[in-house]
Amino acid sequence: MHELYNFVSGPLAWVAGAFFVLGSIYRLVSMYILAKRKDGSSLEYMSLHYSLRSIIRWLIPFSTMGWKADPLMTVTTFAFHICFIAVAVFLSGHVVVWNTAFGFDMWSLPTQAGDIISFVVIAACAIFALRRFMLPHVKNVTKPKDWFALTLVVLPFLTGVLAYHQMGPSLLMTTLHILSGELLLALIPFTRLSHALFTVFTRAYMGSEFGAVRHTRDW
């Protein structure tokens, strides 16, 4: 068990990190090269002003047609993304890892708050799952890929909560938690979760197209 833990928390963490960083760079660079080669007539209209206008607008809940269409989804997705980042980076347990491994000394979430927002993420995933089960227009287009991505995301949170609340063998739960977190990190560039890499560009392009060519707004 110690060997596994050492492997998972040592070399495998670097491998997962490398997959994430190099994978992301690879995906972004190859996408950019492809865009340069094939989408010149779209790239030409990219505008920083309209990109930011669109990105900022869509970062405000309920300020777009899309965010007004389904309030539950809007609340859920905002809560999910904010809490996801907060937990991944600022959870006190994680900050200790950054501190022990790299010597960073950074602000962390109060332990209680971290616990609560981890549950928020799990609840949000549950709502995502329920939408996929229950809403016909979501169910209709849900593919195994979507379930896979959702599972990837929820696993580190489930195991994390179990490990934190010391349910089940601590070492095993922690090992599983790290393992699932690494799986998530490594697969972000290669699954549906790649929207984390591309959304800023698709949003920016849509903003530019609507602002610079169509002289109207994209929200």
Partner 1 sequence: MHKKKLTRTLAPLAAIIAVMLIYMAPMAFSQEDMVVVPTSDFNAPERPAAMFKHDAHNELAGLEDCVVCHHGKTDAGLIDLENSSDGESCSSCHPVKPENGATPLMRAYHLQCTTCHADALKGPVACGECHKK
Partner 2 sequence: MSHISDRIISDPGLELGVANLTTERIEEVVNQALKGETGAKLKAYQETCMRCGLCAQGCHFYVSHDGDPSYSPVSKATESIYELMEKKGRVSPKRIYEMAQIAYTECNLCKRCAHYCPVGIDTGYSMLVMRRICHLLGVVPQYILDTGNSHATTMNQMWVKDDEWIDTLQWQEDEARDEFSNIRIPLDKEGADIYYSVIAPEPKFRTQLIYQAAAIFHEAGVDWTMPSTPGWDNSDMSMYIGDFENMGRLKRSHYESAQKLRVKRIVMGECGHAYRSVYDMGNRWLGYRDMPIPVIHSVEYFWELLTEGKIKIPKKFEHPVTIHDPCNIIRGMGLMDKLRDVTHMICENVVEMTPNREHNYCCSAGGGVINCGPPFRGTRVKGNKAKADQLRNTGVSHVVCPCHNCHGGLEDIIDHYELGMHPKFLGDIIYEIMEKTDAL
Distance between CA atoms of residues 153 and 122, nearest Å: 9
Sign of torsion over alpha carbons 79, 84, 90, 94: positive
Residue 166 is a binding residue for partner 2 (CB under 8 A): no
| Residue span binding partner 1 (CB under 8 A) among the ranges 11-19, 51-59, 88-96, 190-198 | 88-96
Closest CA to 174 of 96, 103, 63: 96
CB 190 within 8 A of CB 29: no
Residue 2 is a binding residue for partner 1 (CB under 8 A): yes
| Residue span binding partner 2 (CB under 8 A) among the ranges 37-45, 83-91, 163-171, 172-180 | 37-45
Residue 103 is a binding residue for partner 1 (CB under 8 A): yes
| CA-based R_g, the chain, Å | 20
Residue 140 is a binding residue for partner 2 (CB under 8 A): yes
Strand ranges for the chain from DSSP E: none
How many separate helices (H) and strands (E) can be counted in the chain? 12, 0
Q: How far is the CB of 182 from partner 1 (least distance, A)?
A: 15
210 binds, among partner 1, partner 2, none (CB under 5 to 8 A by kind): partner 2
Task: Find all residues with CB under 8 Å of 74, minimum gap 6, and list them.
Answer: 61, 62, 67, 68
Dihedral angle, C-alpha 116, 19, 197, 43, nearest 10 ° = 170
| Residue span binding partner 2 (CB under 8 A) among the ranges 14-22, 64-72, 83-91, 104-112 | 64-72
Sign of torsion over alpha carbons 43, 44, 47, 48: positive
Residue 111 is a binding residue for partner 1 (CB under 8 A): yes
173 binds, among partner 2, partner 1, none (CB under 5 to 8 A by kind): partner 1
Residue 80 is a binding residue for partner 2 (CB under 8 A): no
Distance between CA atoms of residues 118 and 126, nearest Å: 13
Residue 164 is a binding residue for partner 1 (CB under 8 A): yes
Residue type at 29? V
6 binds, among partner 2, partner 1, none (CB under 5 to 8 A by kind): partner 1
Of 32, 104, 119, 133, which one interacts with partner 2 (CB under 8 A)?
32
Residues of this chain that interact with partner 2 (CB under 8 A) are 31-32, 34-35, 37-39, 41-42, 44-45, 54, 58, 64-67, 69-70, 73, 77, 131-132, 135-143, 146, 192, 194-195, 198-199, 201-207, 209-210, 213-219
